Chain A
Amino acid sequence: MAKDTRLEDAVLRGEMSIVDFCCEKVNGQIERMKERNPDLLWTLEIQRAMWEMFRDGHKNGKKVIWFGGPVPVDLIVAFDCVPVYLDTVPIRLSPNPVLAARFIDAAEKYVPNSMCGIDKVELGMTLLNQFGPEPDAFVYSSVPCDSSRIAYPNMDMILTKKGTPCFAFDTPFRRDERGIQYLVDQTKRFISWMEELTGTKFDQEKYNEVCKKTNRTFEWQGKCAELRMRKPCPLPGRMLVLNGTSNAMSGFDAMGDLLEKEYEVGEMLYELGMGPCPEGEKHRVALLQNMLWSSAGTMDWLEREYNTVAVMDAFGFQYGDIYEHIGDLEDCLRVMARKMQNNPMIHGASGPSENFIYLVDKIFENYEPDVSMFIGHIGCKHTWASAKMVTDMIQEKYGIPSLYIDVDGIDGRYKSLDEIKASVADYMDTVVNK
């Protein structure tokens, strides 16, 4: 039976918005899941909650705010607006190369094809104006990543022409005290800007509520991360993708609920001595760059074929900061600033390479992987340009060599799942299993 591609075709013809597509897709998945695997429904709920929130934002009388890079999301939520984390779009579209290609090609009309697929999709979607609800504002930052530093200001200019207000944070290159203060100062301006945008005053009470929810999200996320440190690791590698979403949705109950559930299930599996590897965990791998969004199937396959589980990826790894003095605005702003600086992969492992090296070192220390893979997204040239330093460190300190392969995490046309698997298999056979 041929696959039903009516939804995809509608998007390709420009007749359906991305948001509607994602909502329909996720609802379809949920229906199927109800029949086949009702136990796993919880894994999809967050997707539904998020995409429907994007879709219905205007209907619910809220402002829809696009954001890219590290920005104080909790404040957007506290102003009762819908925060749309743009990176979720390319990541959501990437498993379908044809769909991603529509937006990538639209962007490539202007920008070089070497630009990161994440940013190409975001720019392409803006050029084609196909997200769905028109954004009421766009907030972004000068993340230390060239691709987004080019894509965002371009999107800013396109949106500004239409009269959409935009706000840009200047992310300091280094992580230090001066940088934190710098971000706090900018955030204060951002609060006034939001007041003007929404026509409401900043509400400390509402913000406190959001802080609590965010804390809950990061506490559970921390616990899930700890679960992954256990041996055998009870959670599948594929779920690492969620780390991206958690950032965008941390201020909502749904995210905390999901992670709590993930933790419960993981704890249960651990008790039962079960995990994603059918014959028990033989190896654990750390991904030095991002998750393979376009080919997450590689993770399932590694578990099945090699009993090897991905325990952490460098772009999803968080040592999430927690608000300690909720109610103390100055203190909370500092925590937020720290989050903005520490966030490893809201386009993260960027800034000075030493941050990246430090981050990966922490992963090896905490998760004790015995396999190291740099499955490098080609768009992310600045991580590629630190890769040797990082892998040299791993070799010297932990005695583990690293596999390098080039992939396009968003554009599946670059390398197929089979090609990626073949390269990984060669490595597993020759270097890991000797």
Chain B
Amino acid sequence: MSYQKLFDSKISTEAAKAWRAQGKKAVGTICCHVPDEIIRAAGILPVRMRATDCVDSSSGEVWMSTFSCSFARSILQYWMDGVYDLDGIVASDGCMMPSRVFDNAEYIDKKNGKNRFFYQIGAPRIVNDMTLSYYVDELKELIERLEKFSGVKVTDEALKEYIAKYNEARVLVQQVAELRKADNPVINGQDFSSIILAYTDYPIEEYIEMLKEFLADAKNRKPYTEQRARLMIIGSALDDPGYLKIVEDKGGIFVADALCFGTRAFPGQLEVDDKDVLGSIAKYYLERLVCPRMMDDRATLHEYIINTAKEYKVDGIIYEKMQYCECWGGESVLLEDELKEAGIPLLTVEREEHLANAGQLAIRAEAFIEMIEK
């Protein structure tokens, strides 16, 4: 097995197929407050759903209307089209759009008499002791449901086993991200994005192996040297390296990000308190920095963006907003001024899941690069 799979951003269903072929269950997951450790401990394979390469989302549009985020709508399309052949969905209420993907998927499923497994975790948007205990209760209920569904008891031992594995992956991803700090990094934005996307499709063990192989080989890779500007990308869910390619073809190189499908998904380590394993999981997932869905850590998010930009010696930030994405769309109110203060140039662009007007992005990116290149 080679690590080449890391660089194929297409949705791969082979791992899930193989898993299910053994008579085990696999579920789709949506959003950032679904702890994979728990799902694995219940003997179930989590597959983080995405919409890469979805060209036509008209069925999704029928259910979610044109006034919906096309990333979410395209996931529903893939679900309806059977691109993801899974045993159910576990979601957390990130923003309203994935919640509606969940609702519609469940509704359509019932209508078609399928009755697969559906559970939505209510994840708090404020971090304090009270909200943490609410989240713990929500996770307890998830565990009960999962146990019933898979017939596997979720034990502290199993949870710890998977926490260790996911922690290992976190370390490895952070090491990959470190590579981007070099003046002439051996991976560009497209590469990194593909590596992160691969995580969604494969069991964690397989992913860890691929990362290790890649890291061992990394120094043999040819560094990128032609770049005119170092960029960071932030904004709405982005699961399409093709988007980054357009910008990198114009001479930029992405060296950092603050994206759902990016470094931000693998921060730090999940510290286990042996006396309260579930509580440790809840604490990690609730406290880690996610996105503007959280109401009280915007300042930290902004700080993270600015610090990362500095740490990775970024010349400018590209802020992509999905159309109808309020979550990220509204973040500019204070962020714009803060970036200005920090002296970091910013380019804001609108986009849709399906890359329709590549030319328009290209011209903006090129002009931005001309503006910031040294």
Contacts and interface: CB of A to CB of B under 8 A. Distances in A.
A151 B330 contact: yes
B67 A173 contact: no
Contact of A385 (B100, B122, B138, B327): B100
A391 to B, nearest CB: 11
B9 to A, nearest CB: 27
A322 interface: no
Contacts of A378: 67
A331 interface: no
Interface in A163-209: 168, 170, 172-174, 178-179, 182, 185-186, 189
Nearest to A157: B334
B69 to A, nearest CB: 8
Contacts, number: 147
Interface string A344-376: 000000101110000000000000000000001
A395 interface: no
Interface stretch (B91-99, B212-220, B247-255): B91-99
A382 B330 contact: no
A406 interface: yes
A381 B120 contact: no
A239 interface: no
Nearest to A186: B130
A76 interface: no
Contacts of B331: 150
Q: Which has the most chain B C-beta neighbours within 10 Å: A127, A149, A158, A178?
A: A149
Q: Which has the most chain A C-beta neighbours within 10 Å: B99, B299, B336?
A: B99
B125 A170 contact: yes
Interface string B317-356: 0000101111101111110100000000000001000000
Q: Which has the most chain B C-beta neighbours within 10 Å: A153, A170, A189, A385?
A: A385
Given A149-B125, A381-B67, A112 B99 contact: no
Nearest to B108: A389
Interface in A289-345: none
Contact of A111 (B68, B122, B332, B350): B332
A158 B137 CA distance: 33
Contact of B334 (A154, A170, A182, A382): A154
B295 A385 contact: no
Given A112-B329, A146-B95, A388 B295 contact: no
Contact of A389 (B93, B107, B138, B350): B107
Contacts of A416: none
B62 interface: yes
Contacts of B63: 385, 388-389
Contacts of A178: 134, 137-138
Contacts of B100: 353, 382, 385-386
Contacts of A354: 103
Nearest to A142: B125
Interface in B270-309: 292-293, 295-296, 298-299
B295 A152 contact: yes
A81 interface: no
B54 interface: no
Contact of B323 (A114, A385, A406): A114
Contacts of B130: 182, 185-186, 189
Given A146-B95, A153-B296, A384-B68, A112 B333 contact: no
B124 A170 contact: yes
A280 interface: no
Contacts of A151: 330
A168 B126 contact: yes
B8 to A, nearest CB: 31
Contacts of B123: 173
Contacts of B120: 173-174, 352
Given A115-B330, A352-B103, A172 B122 contact: yes
Contact of B96 (A112, A123, A382): A382
Contacts of A235: none
Interface of A: 110-112, 114-115, 123, 127, 142, 144-147, 149-154, 156-158, 168, 170, 172-174, 178-179, 182, 185-186, 189, 350, 352-354, 376, 378, 381-382, 384-389, 406
5 contacts: A112-B324, A150-B292, A157-B334, A388-B62, A389-B104
Question: 9 tightest CB-CB pairs across the interface, nearest first?
Answer: A150-B330, A385-B100, A112-B329, A382-B96, A173-B122, A353-B103, A384-B65, A146-B326, A385-B64
Given A142-B126, A189-B130, A352-B99, 14 more contacts: A112-B325, A150-B292, A150-B326, A150-B329, A153-B298, A168-B126, A170-B124, A179-B122, A381-B69, A381-B96, A382-B97, A384-B67, A385-B65, A385-B103
